[in-house]
Structure 1
């Protein structure tokens, strides 16, 4: 009986019954036309478990699929996604087929049973030519926002009232150029900036190949804000066909 209980405990841990980390976002990079599978980490769904899949370009707030009482529903709530989605009835994992650049963004699985846990994915879709993405993230707090700038032009911005999540904001760069991009984490009384440029982070080698490759380079800053200390991390991904 003791051995059986231990095996059951191990199985529960591997299946994520005790909850997934809610502040970690997994970044996935794919090309247009590919298929991508977003895994829930659930081993098997029972009739009482409900899983919601949410999507948003900058904030996952649109319901696109769900499973409840073993019944799957796929919703036509975002352009061109419904016919590309497939949900696994046993695990609730989501497959996106023939993906396009318009489907880049944040996907969240909200897994509800006796407790609610989350799995979060940032999906970057590229058209096959040169394209790069920089991911900037910061610990959330009251009235904290995260923005990308090129010069004084704000390129995108995100914020969330859910203080338990980590703010994350991707920036897609179509061409290798000399521009300097700034990521700014700010609240009403303070802000902190980190920057990205190809010259600084990914200079060309003498053989004219990129030095970054498909690995991530991490730059960390510390922000002292009203709510305490927040960490800003910048992850760079270089995607080549």
Structure 2
């Protein structure tokens, strides 16, 4: 008898059928339904759900639903088909869910991996002026697109509709930054995009606002400083012209006075 029980247990364990894991992404606060593929369900069949190792829901031969985990209180709905709905899903609900249906000594399982994503932030683009450089007459600068406290996302730079570069993060909640070098006054359209499987956020780039020319460039001055220098230069030129005009005017007056009689010079000839 003991050997038969041991053999039965061995058969039971090795007769568990686990299909491929189904990955589901959902936005925090939404509802998600984990649909099983169980068919020909009978009233005598027992269907149970686990979150990790915790038993969270069950439908048995008496069609009674039980919810044992306090984390999911009033947020679970068990369906006769064996599917499970989670309402107002939270970030802490991310993880592995296992649905099991027991029929005599045979147990079938379906495994779901639920990824709960928080609403995506809008990327921030800043100018990294310390990386600004000048090559010939073309000024270039480095811009940085950043997002903070994100997970399961991809951060990308686009030029029009063409992907230039990207960086991704999987499980950890971290900060991401992605640089981009552009030319000053470049007229191409750039955008920084953050996305996950269910949503995205885009920040468009205005190079004229963020990318300033390098100090060593010929175009080193701001508009205000350029106007100031132009005004000063004009005043200097005007002052120089005025001095020259006054100088030539004085010469002409002196020459004219020398030519007039009675200017104090003695007339030539005998007395």
Normalising by structure 1, we get a TM-score of 0.47
* Structure with greater strand percent: 1
Provide TM-score, normalisation by structure 2: 0.43
Which has the larger share of helix?
Answer: 2
